[in-house]
A = this chain, B = another copy of it.
Amino acid sequence: MDERKRLILNAIIQDYIYSAEPVGSRTLVKRHRIGLSPATIRNEMADLEEMGYLQQPHTSAGRIPSPRGYRFYVNTIMEDYVPSPGELKKIGELIAAAGLTLPQSPRQMAKFLAAVTNYISLIAGPADNLQEIRHINLVPYSISSVICVIVLSDGAVKHHAIGIPEGVNPGEIEALARFLQKNLQGLKLNEITPRILAGLKADFTGSQRLVEEISLLVKHLALVHAQDLVMDGTANLLKEPEFRDIQKVREVFETLEQGEQILRLLVADPGPMDGLGVRIGPEIGLDSFADCSLVVATFLLADRQVTLGVLGPARMQYAKTIGLIRWLQEYFSSGGY
């Protein structure tokens, strides 16, 4: 990958992000002032395609970046982006309009982030997973079900009905209740790892089915009670030409409605460094998001950890989006608020 290829790849990606149309050798030469003929570009393009950075929708179409191409762009080509004065003005106005409650209201924050980026904003937080389980109990409810009641140290009470498998007697349920109290009480939510849950299952000698259900419940609690998901700007996705296909849109929206899955996306792997991560297309790990990219940033906001994400098309304005998020990260966590 020599300097010239990088230059060309850069030009192609930028053009494509701008126009959403496959870019050909001729147009590329015309738009950027590279001192090369289309034929040369064609050769380079063929190389880049072979290397996996570009794709061709069909023979005799221009090239579009592959996920790998975007990845390379984000990792090594892309230059840092600083919000323009115009953008800063817009940001300022939005912040002013939202008022001082902005950083404390995930909803407002989501609206704000969506307005700034023009993509879908996802906010998980404030994370509150330092709460611990004060009390856990199983209360008989009917012949075939018990209610699992969990009290957290902040006073929140969670309860959920669980069916009793065939052949489990009351004594066993009491035993499980004591077992759970012994093993889970006092644990902080963020300490409840899959490992602990596996241990739970291994250690308990009674009905596996039952302990399995409880373990699922607790896991769910740890993930979701603590995190509150809010999103906004979903309509923005419909502006993107690659989502003119209703079918595709529907898949994305259906996934977005699975709040838990999205939360996991945001919370898992907060990003390699300085709390910022970019996941491109298939890297997200969801089929329905194969044509999307996700920028995630985690930081402290009013003493609480907040994760905010921006979901857009894979053909995202990476530099701008990442630049904006960096700026916001700085702005909000610097205590300016």
Binding site for B on A (CB under 8 A): 96, 99-101, 107, 111, 141, 147, 158-163, 232-235, 238-239, 243-244, 246, 249-250, 253-254, 256-257, 259
Contact = CB atoms under 8 A, between A and B. Distances in A.
Contacts of A256: 235
A232 B159 CA distance: 22
A159 B246 contact: no
A151 to B, nearest CB: 14
Contacts of A163: 96
Contact of A257 (B141, B161, B233): B233
A160 to B, nearest CB: 4
Contact of A160 (B101, B162, B243, B253): B101
A246 B245 CA distance: 8
Given A101-B158, A158-B101, A159-B100, A257 B234 contact: yes
A39 to B, nearest CB: 39
Contact of A238 (B99, B249, B259): B249
Contact of A99 (B101, B160, B257): B160
A257 B244 contact: no
B101 A159 contact: yes
Q: How many copies of this chain does the complex contain?
A: 2
A100 B250 contact: no
Which of A141, A163, A244, A257 has the most chain B CB atoms closer than 10 A to its own CB? A257
A100 B158 CA distance: 10
A273 to B, nearest CB: 33
Contacts of A253: 234-235, 238
A167 B96 CA distance: 20
A145 B249 CA distance: 43
A141 B141 CA distance: 54
Given A99-B159, A100-B161, A238-B253, 18 more contacts: A96-B161, A99-B160, A99-B161, A100-B147, A101-B159, A101-B160, A111-B257, A233-B257, A234-B234, A235-B250, A235-B253, A235-B254, A235-B257, A238-B249, A238-B250, A243-B246, A246-B246, A246-B249
Contacts of A233: 257
A329 to B, nearest CB: 22
Nearest to A255: B235
B238 A246 contact: yes
Nearest to A141: B100
A147 B100 CA distance: 8
A209 to B, nearest CB: 16
A289 to B, nearest CB: 14
